[in-house]
Structure 1
Amino acid sequence: MIKVLICLLLHQAEKVSAAWSVTFENQDYCVVKGSSVELKCSYNYPDDESVRETAWYKGMLQDGIWERVKLSVLPTYKNRFAYRGDHVHNCSLVLQDLQEDDTGYYYFWFDTNRFGRNSKRSVYLSVTELKASIRPRRVSAGDNVTLECGTSCQSPRIIWFRDGHIVTEPEFRAKIQDAGNYSCAIEELKSMQSDPVALDVWYSPLNVSVEVNRSSPLLTGSSVTLTCRSAANPAADAYTWWYSSSFSNSSSELQVGSGQVLSIASVELAHSGTYICQAENRVGQSRSAEVLLTVEETVGIIIIILLVLPVVVVWAWKCLPHSDAGKEDLIDSIAFTCSITPPLCS
């Protein structure tokens, strides 16, 4: 009789045990510091029972003893957790503003009108602070670059951003356009990115050009300024000017100056020719295209004007109606021309 009673009690206990359960959708969560997470959970119990109370606990080591401590009594969780479940079957929990100390094991408990039950299993939550790093931080174009994202999570799927744009490969050969600020994130939490880390890509001068400030035409005795422009990182810190004469059949170049600006205060015919600027930084150097300067003699320009002016005056005298005042103006113009170069009028 006693054996039969024991068997009946054991059978009843097995039925009760089989009728209740706690199921976690995911038993391992990895999240970023400062973010939020929802621990999704469901539970079941016999139909003849009703739920009176629910609670979540965290596993903690206290005085060398592993205990389950109710979240509601832990000061560090005040206003940072919310039970999103109900007293039917949903037992989900939301944790907010997660900190690294929140890492650990979490358990669900519920009490019915007959029994109080703890979940047999737990949810493990890992809270990590992402730390982006670049090896090396400063490179020259063409060098190898490796992006690394430090995290305590076990093999999370990491994605990278450069200035807000997704980077497809964490290892690459640096190009000029690769310079920028890099940050990493766990793929499921793209909005929670690490602090950015800068990649500085050095390159030799590019697009070297010469800007010319001069009068037109460039006459002897006038001034001219040539300014060298380039794109470089670091900025070009050395400039060399080269000159090839228009009056020589030789293609040899002469160094005629240094510095970003080449100024000639009073040009002469001998300054006619091609000029080239060479810009240089610690990475390399590059040259501009040739710039041609043509210097014209001032006297030659005046002679041309004086030869043309009388022809215009005679044409105006013959072809246009003039008053006496107009004729006097033409005579004055011719007289002014002769006063400039008397030999031409003698």
Structure 2
Amino acid sequence: MMIAVLLLLTVKSAGTLSAAWSVTFENPDLCAVKGSSVTFRCIYNYTDGETVRKTGWYKGHLKNDIWKRVELSDLPSYHHRYEYLGDEQHNCSLAVHDLQVNDTGYYYFHFGTDTIGRRSKTSVYLTVSEVRATVQPERVRAGEKVTLECATSCQNGSTVWFKDGHPMTKTLSWAQAEDTGKYSCTVKGHESVQSHPVALDVQYSPLNVSAEVSQAGLLSVGSNVNLTCNSAANPEADNYTWYSSSSRLQVASGQVLSLPSLEVSHSGVYLCQAGNSVGESNSTAVLLEVGETKINRVILLVGIGVKVVLILFLTLIIIWVRKGWCHPAGDSEMDSHDYENMKMRNR
């Protein structure tokens, strides 16, 4: 009879101890993005009066077809990457940082008291997914359809897209010139960890074509001027043609039109056409005015005045020189006539 009572008390004590301890995981199935951080939220209980002496987290893996649990502190790949957030009372939460794909697996919690050690019966299964961005096709022409896809095994959040490192504010469906750039994606809530970027190349014919004149205003005859054709294009414009309204024909080719010695006939409206493998576009027209400027007219009048003065001055010199040669001969002849007259009188 006494033996039966002792056995009954032993069974009841074991049942009470077994029911007193537990480990509960808030979310036993987690998925996180490579490079991000994850937190295993955990609560554990034990028999009143017991004192917790040790806590630890383990990862399970197969070794020689035997399932083993290895403490994270014994795994070099986890050094400086995991952080125990719990205590030695009831909180057993764990954080793992800079997640890698091989962190995928089962995780267990263990704690020990003065009298017994316990391992969680259940586990947390963590899936670490690498996010991959794709763009199809990678090269399109403006106006063509383009598709962006973000692939990840985590389905616990919506996709967030970035263009050149900045969050996108529009959905990309039909490519435009400004859509050229590098695209990356991630799962919402993990914006600091993005996929490797993929490039989208949108090709388009020349835009914003402009013709610029090196000198503004009225240009003087004989001066020189350059007209330059500029545009935004992908690929870059490699074909330039210049047209004049006066001739209505092509006047030159090349990005720069040089007019080294202007004439009045060069006056008129000019425009350029820029082209690449996608198409061609014309610039707005620019007016070129060539004529006699006020300064040129002044210089011309001064030049004419100087010439007139020089001619008059030379004329006076010539007259004076001629007179100088003529007067001495006339005086000698007159003296000779006077001498002959005097002789005749003396006779």
Q: TM-score, normalised by structure 2?
A: 0.77
Q: Residue type of the partner of 2:273?
A: Q
Q: Does 1:272 align with 2:267?
A: yes
Could you say which structure has the larger radius of gyration? 2
Alignment partner, residue 248 of structure 1: none
- Listed as ranges, the matches of 1:1-346 within 5 Å are 12-154=13-155, 156-168=157-169, 171-214=172-215, 217-245=218-246, 253-296=248-291, 302=297, 306=301, 335-336=305-306, 338=308
Residue 273 of structure 1 deviates from its aligned partner by: 2.0
The alignment's C-alpha RMSD in Å is 3.3
SS at match of 1:101: helix
- What do residues 92-140 of structure 1 show as CA deviations (whole Å, max 9, x unaligned)? 1222333222111101112223432221221112223333222222222
Alpha-carbon displacement from aligned partner over 1:232-273 (angstroms, at most 9, x marks no partner): 22211111111121xxxxxx7211111101112233333222
Distance 1:168 1:214 in 2: 43
Q: 1:173 is paired with a residue of what secondary structure?
A: coil
Deviation at 1:199, TM superposition (A): 2.4
Give how far 1:201 is off.
2.4
The change in CA–CA distance for 1:265 and 1:340 in structure 2 (over 3 A counts) is: farther
**Identical counterparts, % of pairs:** 56
Q: Report deviation, 1:193.
A: 1.9
User: For structure 1, which segment, 6-15 or 219-228, has the greater mean C-alpha deviation from structure 2 after superposition?
Assistant: 6-15
| Number of positions where the alignment pairs a residue of Structure 1 with one of Structure 2 | 311
SS at 1:185's partner residue?
strand
Aligned partners of 1:147 and 1:170 also within 8 Å: no
SS of the residue corresponding to residue 245 of structure 2 reads: strand
Decide whether the 8 Å contact of 2:39 with 2:93 is kept in 1.
yes
Unaligned runs of at least 5 residues, structure 1:
246-251, 310-332
Q: d(CA) in 2 for partners of 1:4 and 1:77?
A: 51
1:298 Cα deviation after fit:
8.2
Comparing 125-134 and 286-295, the one that deviates more: 125-134
Is the partner of 1:183 in helix, strand or coil?
strand
Change (3 A) 1:216 1:158: closer
Contact 1:160 1:170 in 2 (8 A): no
How much does 1:334 deviate? 8.8
| TM superposition shift of 1:162 | 1.6
Q: CA deviation at 1:12?
A: 4.8
AA of the residue aligned to 1:64: D
**Runs of at least 4 residues off by over 6 Å:** 1-8
